[in-house]
Amino acid sequence: MSLIPIGRIGLAALGVVALVTATSPARAQTMGLATMQPGSLNHTTGTAIAKVAKEKGGLNMLVQPTAGETVIIPLVARGEAEFGLANALEVSVATENNRLPELRLIGVLHPLPTAFFVRKDTTMRTMADVKGKKVVWGFSAQRVIDIVSRAVLATVNLTERDVTPVLVPNVVRGADDFVAGAVDVFYFAFGAPKVREVDATVGGIRALEIPESGMPAARKIYSDGYLAPAVPGQFYIGVDKPMGVYTWDNLIFTNARVKDEVVYKMIEALANNKDDLIAVQPALRAFTPAAMNKKFSTPYHPGALKYFADNKIEIKSAQ
């Protein structure tokens, strides 16, 4: 799959902003939701949210695909899109040292279970088996995936020096390279359409198992990652027996200039229409308003805080 250069995305986004600014009624009615590319879990989640926000919440929200989360976060912080989706580690890295001071959290959407995948007809079954193999790496548009990759390798006492890194800009490109035979192992989130596509294209994939005993080493690299239970089924493609899969949180965020009532109304629409969300994105089965308010270094939007206060949702500690 060819990728749109980041520079062109930025120019396109600015063009959209200029257009809607020139027509003030449209500016008041249309809001962008920045996501990753089609095929990613992030894009499907965004599609579900935009549909519910528009049909149930009266908010005209449009999905705005980008090359990756490294692009999404500053795009939203600058106000070139009103909302965005990205994983918690990506947001933390992007906002450390008070960078992007206008970014505001809305909350946790769902846990983000992930895995390194191989072809089902190989003998590889655990992360220890990736030693010496060609593994997707780099992720220039999703830079924190390298951190997660190092954490997962650490669970079996390996580093990137023990594999053959193949540089990719994002997980979608990594999956395409896997199908093309350019890599032996690719990384993706469960629930993404791309995982199902790859599984069907290559005749089956397998998620590599991670040992619980290796998680203390992983937490030295990324403290908030954890193993969540996964069982064979339509959502957990590639899982052929009950196992723990590497997981952290997926977030939705906005910027300080978005009105409090808009954020409040969006959360309310999601909370009251979960079945509609799940119909588009099964990963949102794990969504619950009670789990949205979790402690992070990035500040929350006042509209989200008001919703939490009105619904007596207390803040929770990170994993």
Report the C-alpha gap between 185 and 116 in whole angstroms. 6
Structure confidence by residue, pLDDT tens digits, 133-147: 999 999 988 888 999
Report the C-alpha gap between 192 and 199 in whole angstroms. 11
Structure confidence by residue, pLDDT tens digits, 212-271: 999 999 999 998 899 999 999 999 999 999 999 999 999 999 999 999 999 999 999 999
Positions of CATH 3.40.190.10 in the chain: 6-111+249-310, 113-248
Q: How confident is the model at residue 15 (pLDDT cuts 50, 70, 90)?
A: very low
Write down the pLDDT at residue 238: 97
Write down the pLDDT at residue 318: 63
What's the chain look like in SS3? CCCCCHHHHHHHHHHHHHHHHHCHHHHHHEEEEEECCCCCHHHHHHHHHHHHHHHCCCCEEEEEECCCHHHHHHHHHCCCCCEEEEEHHHHHHHHHHHCCCCEEEEEEEEEEEEEEEEECCCCCCEHHHHCCCEEEEECCCCCCHHHHHHHHHHCCCCCHHHCEEEEECCHHHHHHHHHHCCCCEEEEECCCHHHHHHHHHHCCEEECECCHHHHHHHHCCCCCCEEEEECCCCCCCCCCCCEEEEEEEEEEEEECCCCHHHHHHHHHHHHHCHHHHHHHCHHHHHCCHHHCCECCCCCECHHHHHHHHHCCCCCECCC
Structure confidence by residue, pLDDT tens digits, 145-159: 999 999 999 999 999
- Tokens for 310? 């009105």
CATH 3.40.50.300 for domain 113-248, yes or no, is no
118 Cβ contact partners less than 8 Å away, ≥ 6 residues apart: 124, 129, 184, 185, 205, 206, 208
Report the C-alpha gap between 63 and 279 in whole angstroms. 17
Is the pLDDT score of 292 beyond 60? yes
Write down the pLDDT at residue 8: 39
pTM comes to 0.78
In degrees, to the nearest 5, what angle opens at C-alpha 167 toward C-alphas 109 and 103?
Answer: 35
Write down the pLDDT at residue 84: 98
Write down the pLDDT at residue 59: 96
Write down the pLDDT at residue 307: 98
- The mean per-residue pLDDT over the stretch 78-103 comes to 93
Q: How confident is the model at residue 168 (pLDDT cuts 50, 70, 90)?
A: very high
Q: How confident is the model at residue 6 (pLDDT cuts 50, 70, 90)?
A: very low
Is the pLDDT score of 281 beyond 50? yes
Write down the pLDDT at residue 24: 38
CATH code, residues 6-111+249-310: 3.40.190.10
